[in-house]
Amino acid sequence: MSHYVVADGIRTHYRDAGDGPVVVLLHGGEYGAAAELTWESCIPLWSTQFRVLALDLVGFGRSSKLRDFAGGQRRLMIAQVSAVLRTLDIQRAYFVGTSLTGRMLLDMVNRDSAPWPIEAVVAAGIGLAPPSAQGRKVLEDFDGTLDGLRPSMEVLFHDPAFRDSEDFLRRRYEFAAMPGAWETGAAAALRSPVRARGGPQPARDYGSIRVPVQLIRGEHDALVPADTWQALADQIPGARTVTVAGSGHYPQIERPAEFAAAVLEFLNEVAT
């Protein structure tokens, strides 16, 4: 189930389970994020109908720790996933992204030609506006220690079974403490003094999306208020929306049965 592939010079760790149409799973971008922690409870629920590929993005999990200072980390991640799909001969797939990668997927399918063979998108934990500034600051202010990672549990999770779990915190920390993981993440804040900072970002408009989209939000998501999530849904033609009760930013972790069932219903609908 756990595999490695070297594609375009990047060593990518991924989990592979099941058979059938391909579903590619992408994790978020906080310290300690990894395919294993994000999707481990959902993979068995989906692999009975689909071939499920859960990738550790570059800089995360057990994949190579690299940073693109010229074109940005997103460009490097896109190139990484493109190379993996090409190497594994994946010619079409459904994609499920969360937080950082949910945004990435919507941005891709909002253009004339996406770099990945995307048949449909499930995007969890994003709204039309960026994540709340206060919550984002907590996630970014990580000093590399176990206690330094602890405040992020309050931001990411609502259910005390995860929010207050020392075992789950330590599992996250194992990934955050892997060689190069902190350095790769912290490098996002580095900017050359000779490079001008960009101005205000233009307002987002996702009205050009033409693939099926499902948007999922945890009922108590501290990073994505319900109004900005609904504003995003209103922009996307035909977007399906699901709110997962009793969960925070990561309903696929806190409420995997409900999350997986909602995604299965959507994928079975768009596959017909």
User: CB-based burial of residue 134 (10 Å sphere; 0-12 exposed, 13-18 middle, 19+ buried)?
Assistant: exposed
Q: Are 109 and 211 in contact (CB under 8 A)?
A: yes
Q: Quick one: pLDDT at residue 160?
A: 97
| For residue 68, pLDDT beyond 90 | no
pLDDT digits (tens, 9 = 90+) for 170-200: 999 999 999 999 888 888 776 666 555 555 6
Q: Quick one: pLDDT at residue 187?
A: 83
Retrieve residue 30's tokens. Answer: 């906080």
Q: Quick one: pLDDT at residue 67?
A: 82
Q: Are 96 and 124 in contact (CB under 8 A)?
A: yes
| For residue 39, pLDDT beyond 70 | yes
- Identify which has the larger pLDDT, 204 or 11: 11
Q: Which residues of 174-185 are buried (b: 16+ CB within 10 A; e: fewer)?
A: ebbbbeebbebb
Sheet of 118-124, strand order: 2-7, 10-17, 51-55, 22-26, 93-98, 118-124, 213-218, 240-244
Q: Quick one: pLDDT at residue 215?
A: 98
Domains of the chain, start order: 2-189+208-271 (3.40.50.1820)
SS3 186: helix
